[in-house]
Amino acid sequence: MRWQAYHTPESIDEALSLLNHYAGNAQIVAGGTDLILDVQQGNHAAPAALIDVTAIRGLDCIVEDGGWIVIGAAVTHAAIEANPLVRHHGAALAESCSVVGGPQVRNVATIGGNVAHALPAADGTIGLLALNAEVQVCTWNGVAVECAWQPLLSIFAGPGKNRLAANQMIGAFRFPVRAPHSSSAFDRIMRPQGVALPILGVAAQVQLDEMGRRAVAASIAIGPAGPIPFRATESEAILLAAPSLDEVAIEVAIAAAQRQAELRTSKHRASKEYRHEMVAVLLRRVLPKAIARAQAA
């Protein structure tokens, strides 16, 4: 092996004091499906120690707590996909986690690793973003651990770069329980032989008025559509201002998303122009699905 020590702490305190002990020469690992490949492929120098967070008590739990669905950072995509609370309150997240890799990957890969790896197209991240999720960042202050909630988007610094400091880790994620007349959906376009990241992924959540016509809340997440996971805020504003969430409103919102998204050509996946078209294709699938679910709720 390329590292000298492999630790399996049972608490966040223990994990962060180990990180502190190695003074920047240790790395957190969960499922290892991003990190170990990165080390093997030479994209990431091998750290002296790996700190496996999957044995930490509570980090693998999903609970409802005070109006939030709280998901531990070490919960796997398979566990999220199958969880009744997530399926009911956050369909977009259940759907986005259900397409990550294949069953072997989903059984070990975690939502914490998906977010911490900070790729703008990461499926679980896009699902969380549309649900207005928050991330719990835990910090070792030299004496004890302090954990605080912050908006999910605040954790991303750029492609593959998060804003976590050397004395920090992700403890959990949370998103609000489903409001009345609201729902969400996710879909993506993947190359048939693709394994890791989609050409484009889109998640949306809408909350409707009592008549089921107007939007009183709307969020749209698209990836990759910029250096960090992207919220189509201009489309969201259009949906909120529309007298009815009909085809016309959806088409105007799509045009705004196409204007605002920073799409690029990637050698292995798709051209910028193709992605531009796929923004429309996916929003035409995802928005009506979220609206229909909200009307039926």
Ligand X SMILES: Cc1cc2nc3c(=O)[nH]c(=O)nc-3n(C[C@H](O)[C@H](O)[C@H](O)COP(=O)(O)OP(=O)(O)OC[C@H]3O[C@@H](n4cnc5c(N)ncnc54)[C@H](O)[C@@H]3O)c2cc1C
HSE-up of 278 (CA within 13 Å, CB side)? 24
Dihedral sign computed on CA atoms, order 11, 168, 230, 109: negative
83 touches ligand X by CB under 6 A: no
Tokens for 213, please give them. 């016509």
Listed ranges 114-122, 177-185, 251-259, 268-276: which one lies at the site for ligand X (CB under 6 A):
114-122
Choose, by CB under 6 A, the member of 26, 27, 78, 184 that binds ligand X. Answer: 27
Listed ranges 83-91, 139-147, 189-197, 269-277: which one lies at the site for ligand X (CB under 6 A):
189-197
| Site size toward ligand X, by CB under 6 A | 32
Q: How far is the CB of 193 from ligand X (least distance, A)?
A: 12
34 touches ligand X by CB under 6 A: yes
Listed ranges 62-70, 195-203, 214-222, 234-242: which one lies at the site for ligand X (CB under 6 A):
195-203
Residue 32 or 288: the one with the smaller Cβ distance to ligand X is 32
Which residues, 133 to 172, sit near ligand X by CB under 6 A?
164, 169-170
Q: Give, in order, the Cα–Cα distances in Å from 75 to each of 9, 44, 93, 232.
A: 16, 24, 13, 27
Choose, by CB under 6 A, the member of 46, 105, 217, 281 that binds ligand X. Answer: 105
Q: Give, in order, the Cα–Cα distances in Å from 58 to each of 13, 134, 148, 273, 295.
A: 13, 17, 16, 44, 35
CB-based contacts of 76, cutoff 8 Å, min separation 6: 31, 60, 106, 107, 108, 109, 110, 111
Choose, by CB under 6 A, the member of 116, 202, 291, 294 that binds ligand X. Answer: 116
CA 83, distance to chain mean position in Å, is: 16
Residue 105 or 177: the one with the smaller Cβ distance to ligand X is 105
Measure the CA–CA gap between 156 and 34, rounded to whole angstroms.
Answer: 17
29 touches ligand X by CB under 6 A: yes
Residue 29 or 208: the one with the smaller Cβ distance to ligand X is 29
Choose, by CB under 6 A, the member of 79, 80, 91, 100 that binds ligand X. Answer: 100
Q: Give, in order, the Cα–Cα distances in Å from 54 to each of 7, 216, 275.
A: 11, 39, 36
Which residues, 238 to 297, sit near ligand X by CB under 6 A?
none
- Rounded to 5 degrees, φ, ψ at 176 are -65, 145
Measure the CA–CA gap between 21 and 4, rounded to whole angstroms.
Answer: 14
In the complex, which residues of this chain contact ligand X (CB under 6 A)? 27-35, 37, 53, 73, 99-101, 105, 109-110, 112-114, 116-117, 122-124, 164, 169-170, 195-197
